[in-house]
Structures are given as structure tokens and as C-alpha cells.
Amino acid sequence: MSAKSPGPNDHFLTVYRRKFRAWRGSRPFWAGLLTILGGVPIAYLPYGNIKLGNLTLALATTAGAGSLIIGVLLMVLGLTMWFQVHTRVFAGVAAILLALVSLVVSNIGGFLVGFLLALIGGALGIAWGEPGSVPAKGARAAKGRTEKASEPAVAGGPNGVDGASATDDLSATSPVDGTNGRHRAG
């Protein structure tokens, strides 16, 4: 029995919590959540009323439909970040643009609360990377210790270029043919 498989004694809430944690870790969860939460005040506030004792304060604006559309689009973009992970950059940029438009259209972006939540959610959506796509610091350090140090550049090197040797890595990539980004044509 592996450590990840649910055993007969695991409580069903523990199993669901593990599954949710795995699902949450494979997508920009917090970016989507903040974007959804940012759309709620932007969509709601132009239609809501605040009651202060016997006084009713209506927050309706002339652009109420625009506020509703922006709020609903932000909520949809948050869900898109969750369920269509490959479109996270588009959804993040669109969320940032809609948050900026909400400043003008809907009560200063839902009294700045919706604006800030949508702005931060969109930025997190753009910045999120796939788990395991960037090696950990320890892996890079271990890799650097095992590789041979490159030779110093010498004049009239093997490629016929002064100051360049075959082991100089000028492109920070390692193509399969080992040319380090240099063309073979002369």
C-alpha cells in the first residue's frame, strides 16, 4: 500500500481533502479565487442598497449594466483559470484590464475592494507556473557541482573565432547537437 492511496481506515473527509489539495496544486487556485471574489462587489454594489437606520442609500449608477457585465466576466475568468489552466495568461490579462475598466464604470471598482482583488488575482494568474517546470534551488546547485567547469577562452579556438571555445555556452541553452546556439555554416 502506498502512502498516497486511501487505506481502509482513512476517513472520507481526509480522502477528499487530499484530492482537493492535489487539484488545487495543479492550477492557479488563488488567482482564480481572488478574481472571482473581485467580481462579486463590482457586480453587486451598483444594484445594492445600504440601510442606515431609516435611511436607505442607493448605490445605483448610470452604468449599472456595465458593472454587472464586468463583474460576471471577472467571475467567469476566475473559473477559467481553474478549469482551463492553459489559458491562464489570457485570463489574467483580461482580468487586469477589466479591473482597470471597473474603476471608471462601477463605483470606483466596487469601492476599490473588487478592483484590488481582481488586479491581484489577474497578476497571480499570469505569474503562476506549472508545478515542476522550474527546478528547485537544491537541484540546480547539485547539477552545477557535477558538471565540469568550462575551459577558459583562448585565442584562435577550435571554432575559428578568437576568444571562443567549444565549451563556452553563449546562449544559456544546450541544444542536442552541442553547438550551443552557433550555426555550422560558415
pLDDT of residue 47: 80
pLDDT of residue 145: 55
pLDDT of residue 133: 72
2 half-sphere exposure, CB direction, 13 A CA radius? 2
pLDDT < 70 positions in the chain? 1-8, 61-63, 134-186
What is the distance between the alpha carbons of residues 32 and 37, in angstroms, rounded to a whole number? 9
Break the chain down into helix, strand, coil percent, rounded to 5. 55, 5, 40
pLDDT of residue 175: 56
CA dihedral angle for residue 121, residue 125, residue 131, residue 133, rounded to 10 degrees? -140
pLDDT of residue 159: 52
pLDDT of residue 139: 57
pLDDT of residue 135: 62
152 half-sphere exposure, CB direction, 13 A CA radius? 2
